[in-house]
A and B are shown apart, each in its own frame.
Chain A
Amino acid sequence: MHELSVCYGLLSQVERVAREHAATGVTRILLQVGPLSGVEPRLLRRAWPVAAAGSVAASAILEIEAADIRVHCSRCDAESAATANRLLCSACGDYRTRVISGDELILKTLELETARVPRNTDAGQEHRRIHGAL
């Protein structure tokens, strides 16, 4: 049940990116979460509104992309599908494999709402007169 902690981590990242882009809101968050990440997408979805309440991302849609588990065998060089508790090479059965997909816990993209300073309006020109060019 550490998904709430993960959500708070996600929120601080989202807030940072939103700040960097001077965003007024976050509309969509796309994550990639693999079965080997130790994080359960269903619980993440449930915990997210608790973490995001009152934040810039409170009304954002949280989308979670699943990732299939795939391994690369260092013995026979084959790439194959695997399951969380059986990460062996399906071609030769060797255990010396490397997970190439399935342990992701990544924030991929954010869709931000940005209120642009209008360039061609009086307000924009006045703002630039006071503060200099943005």
Chain B
Amino acid sequence: MCTTCGCGVDTDTVRVDGKLAPVRVDTEAVTVLEGLLADNDAQAARNRAHFDQHDVLAVNLMSSPGAGKTALLEATIQALGDELRIAVIEGDLETENDAARIRRHGVPAIQVTTGNACHLDADMVHEALHRLRLSDVDLLFVENVGNLVCPASFDLGQHRNVTLLSVPEGDDKPAKYPVIFRAADLVLLTKQDLAPVMPEFSGERAADAVRSLASTAPVHGVSVKTGDGLADWCAWLRAEYRAQQVRRRDGSTVRPRVQPDGARLHAAAGGARS
């Protein structure tokens, strides 16, 4: 077919006199050197620009199911709700349960049900943003699908990643699931109230396992039941929100900790091409 206008003239096989000409097929090697998730990354960059325009700090929460992401958000809303306007995008395979829990605290929550998808991607977050008034938001949490594997691979446009590890899960999870813990800007050891009955869990060993991933991310313990550690978590959020305001004045932005590696690799790959 003609590639100029799609008129159906196959210039390789049909001659002016109507007879068939020999087919010539060439193979051509094309160097691409793009990240495999370039389309997702482009949408994530648009989401991030959208957050920046509205002076929103976007934080992505990742953990296994049941590590206490929603409970942490409920406690965070109670602690910071008067100071910062909070909104939440909830990712789950099914149900509106988590969004309903958040809405009870008077905070807008958009539930994204992913069906069978094991992670949120930038498009899903983009669609959720259509249902949220970002001009009324200072701090947006994205509560990712409970999963210690897949969410780490998809940039959503967030500024920071927080990975939760609950005491009952065991202190070796960062060694077992290195990719998602390496992506964290902050690691929260949740359900500290269970530590007395689970002496096999050592916060120190968990922190060592995070350090072994060459991570400089702070590791904080927290319990929403007792309130222990909530002050540190809120202080981290306040500092990040202030840093986001400074970046907005400078016209700059920030990606989660692990992302610059990818950007650098692309640059290196581009350099190798020339």
Contacts and interface: CB of A to CB of B under 8 A. Distances in A.
Nearest to A132: B4
A52 B211 CA distance: 40
A105 B36 contact: yes
Given A9-B38, A13-B32, A108-B31, A22 B3 contact: yes
Interface in A15-31: 17, 21-24, 27, 31
Interface in B25-75: 25-40
Interface string A82-106: 1011111000000111110001111
A109 B149 contact: no
A36 B182 contact: yes
Interface in A98-133: 98-99, 103-118, 121-127, 130-131
B17 interface: yes
B32 A118 contact: no
Contacts, number: 171
A131 B5 contact: yes
Nearest to B179: A38
Interface stretch (B94-102, B115-123, B131-139, B236-244): B115-123
Interface residues of A, number: 58
Contacts of A112: 27-30
B15 interface: yes
Contact of A9 (B36, B180, B212): B36
A97 B213 CA distance: 9
B212 A107 contact: no
Contacts of B31: 108-109
Given A31-B36, A98-B214, A24 B153 contact: no
Given A85-B174, A106-B265, A107-B32, A38 B153 contact: yes
Interface of B: 2-5, 9, 11-12, 14-17, 21, 23-40, 117-119, 121, 149-150, 152-154, 174-176, 178-180, 182, 209, 211-216, 258, 261-262, 265-266, 269
13 contacts: A5-B119, A9-B36, A9-B37, A9-B38, A23-B28, A87-B213, A98-B214, A99-B261, A112-B28, A112-B30, A116-B24, A121-B15, A127-B2
Q: Can you list the 9 inter-chain pairs with the closest CB atoms, starting with the nearest? A: A2-B150, A87-B214, A38-B179, A38-B153, A122-B16, A85-B178, A85-B175, A22-B3, A97-B214
